[in-house]
Amino acid sequence: MKRVLVNGAMGKMGQEVVKTVVEETEDLLVGACDMKGIGENIMDLLGLKGDRVTIYGDLTEAIQKTNPDVIIDFTIPEVVMNNIKTGLSHKVHMIVGTTGITEVDLKEIKDLAEANNVNALIVPNFAIGAVLMMEFSREAARYFKDVEIIELHHNQKIDAPSGTSIKTAELINRNMNNCENNGINEIERIKGARGGNKNGVNIHSVRLPGLVAHQEVIFGGEGQTLTIRHDSYSRKSFMPGVKLALKKITDINGLVYGLEKIL
C-alpha cells in the first residue's frame, strides 16, 4: 500500500485519477492539490466514500501535511517542472502525465531523482493500447517497407497531425530502412491529398465531430496489408496505465520515460 497525492486533482484527468486510486487500487489517497476547491474535501466533491482528503493549494504544504510516497501529476506544462523538483527534493516518487517535458528537462529530472534516491516515471501517453500500437508499429517497420498513418480526432482539436502520430512516425522511421520514396513520381492533383510527410511516413489527419481519438497505422506489402488501430473513447482509457505506473513506481530505478518501459 502506497500513500498517494494527486496534483491537479480537480482537473478532468485529475478527478479521474482520484476516483481510480480510491476505488480501484489498494493504495491510499492521502492528499490532493489544486488551485480550485482549496480547503474542501475532495472525497465529498467527487461523491467518493472514505476518510476526508483535503485539497491544498500549495504542493510543498500538501507534501508536508500528508507525507505521500508517490505524487501523480496531471497539471500544465508551465508548472510541471517545478512540481517535479518539489516532489523529488522531498524524496517523493513522481508519476507524471503532464505534457511539455523536454530532453533537457529529462536530464535534470534524472539527476535529481538519483540524488534523492527516488524514482520519476514520465509518461506522455497513459493509454496502454496506444503504447502497444506504437510498439507494434515500430516492430512491424522491420518487415515492411511502406506505411502510412491515419489519425482521426474530434473537430475541436485544432492542431494536426497529432502528437501520437508524429511519435509513431519517428519510431517507425528508426526501424525502416528506406521509407522515403517508393520510386514513383506522384502527381497531387489537389494539394495536400497525399497527407503530411514526417520522417518519410505520410500522415493523414481527419477531424470530425463525433470522433474521439483514433489512430490507424497501415503497413503495405505485396498482396497484403497489416493494420494496427487504437480507439480511445474516453478519459478512462488512461486509468489502467495509471494503475500500472502506481504499481511499478517503486520497482524502477531513477528516471524512466514512457509507459512501454514498464509493460
- Is 204 catalytic? The answer is no
Residues from 41 through 60 that contact a copy of itself (CB under 8 A): none
- The single residue of 19, 65, 90, 157 carrying the catalytic annotation is 157
Going by C-beta distance under 8 Å and a sequence separation of 6 or more, which residues neighbour residue 125? Answer: 131, 134, 164, 241, 259
Q: Min. distance of Cβ 75 from a copy of itself in angstroms? A: 22
The alpha carbon of residue 92 and the mean position of all alpha carbons in its chain are separated, in whole angstroms, by 20
Angle of CA points 19, 22, 27, to nearest 5°: 135
Is residue 99 marked as binding? yes
Residues from 146 through 165 that contact a copy of itself (CB under 8 A): 146-148, 150, 152, 155-156, 158-161
Is residue 12 marked as binding? yes
Query: Does 251 participate in binding a copy of itself (rule CB under 8 A)?
Result: no
Alpha carbons 14 and 222: distance in angstroms, whole number:
46
Query: Does 172 participate in binding a copy of itself (rule CB under 8 A)?
Result: no
Cell of 87: 516532489
Number of residues interacting with a copy of itself: please give it, by CB under 8 A: 75
Cell of 103: 530532453
Query: Does 36 participate in binding a copy of itself (rule CB under 8 A)?
Result: no
Using the rule CB under 8 A, give the single segment among 66-74, 78-86, 96-104, 212-220 that binds a copy of itself.
212-220
Cell of 150: 491515419
| Contact residue for a copy of itself among 39, 209, 251, 253 (CB under 8 A) | 209
Cell of 56: 491544498
| Contact residue for a copy of itself among 195, 200, 254, 258 (CB under 8 A) | 195
Is residue 7 marked as binding? no
Going by C-beta distance under 8 Å and a sequence separation of 6 or more, which residues neighbour residue 121? Answer: 93, 94, 95, 96, 245, 248, 249, 252, 256, 262
Query: Does 176 participate in binding a copy of itself (rule CB under 8 A)?
Result: no
Alpha carbons 118 and 228: distance in angstroms, whole number:
36
Query: Does 192 participate in binding a copy of itself (rule CB under 8 A)?
Result: yes
Query: Does 196 participate in binding a copy of itself (rule CB under 8 A)?
Result: yes
Query: Does 226 participate in binding a copy of itself (rule CB under 8 A)?
Result: yes
Residues from 71 through 130 that contact a copy of itself (CB under 8 A): 127-130
- Cβ distance to a copy of itself smaller for residue 24 or 61: 24
The CA–CA distances, whole Å, from 108 to 31, 42, 102, 120 equal 26, 32, 10, 11
The CA–CA distances, whole Å, from 31 to 34, 42, 54, 72 equal 10, 9, 6, 10
Is residue 176 marked as binding? no
Q: Min. distance of Cβ 9 from a copy of itself in angstroms? A: 20
- Is 49 catalytic? The answer is no
What is the set of active-site residues? 153, 157
